[in-house]
């Protein structure tokens, strides 16, 4: 069972890193690799979307290997993260629209918030249940 789970984790890691790589290509390619050729940019974005879907599938496969307690821990962490991210994201967009912050709202800040919130809530839930 451990060997199968290890294989699933490695598959998720591979799909995650290839998604990151295709995101970098789609982000920087138009400026540094192919000088604004729209068709190449569209292909890079579509490749990134496909890779993202495969990463989500690999993540689902990992969740299918969790026992009930692990699923409960992750589900509670995801639920909290979703709620906190919606509240934070809407508030962040609002303060940008109202010009209460000096720069434009950046999606990277929301992604960072989601990652940190999930990590902290996962640590809290693991401590609470284990």
d(CA 34, CA 114): 32
pLDDT in tens, 21-58: 999 999 999 999 998 789 999 999 999 999 999 999 99
- The structure's pTM equals 0.83
Average model confidence (pLDDT) for the chain? Answer: 95
CB contact at 8 A, 36 and 30: yes
- Convert 70-101 into a string of H (helix), E (strand) and C (coil): HHHHHHHHHHHHHHHHHHHHHHHHHHHHCCCC
pLDDT at 23 (0 to 100): 96
> Which value, to the nearest 10 degrees, does the dihedral of the CA atoms of residues 45, 49, 51, 55 take?
150
The per-residue pLDDT for range 54-104, each reduced to its tens digit, is 999 999 999 999 999 999 999 999 999 999 999 999 999 999 999 999 999
């Amino acid at each position: 069972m451990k060997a199968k789970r290890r294989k699933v984790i490695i598959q998720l890691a591979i799909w995650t890193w290839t998604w990151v790589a295709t995101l970098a290509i789609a982000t920087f390619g138009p400026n540094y690799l192919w000088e604004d050729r729209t068709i190449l940019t569209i292909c890079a974005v579509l490749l990134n979307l496909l890779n993202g879907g495969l990463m989500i599938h690999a993540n689902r496969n990992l969740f299918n290997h969790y026992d009930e307690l692990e699923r409960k821990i992750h589900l509670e962490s995801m639920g909290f993260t979703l709620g906190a991210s919606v509240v934070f994201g809407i508030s962040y967009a609002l303060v940008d629209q109202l010009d209460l912050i000096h720069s434009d709202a950046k999606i990277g800040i929301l992604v960072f918030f989601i990652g940190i919130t999930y990590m902290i809530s996962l640590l809290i839930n693991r401590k609470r249940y284990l």
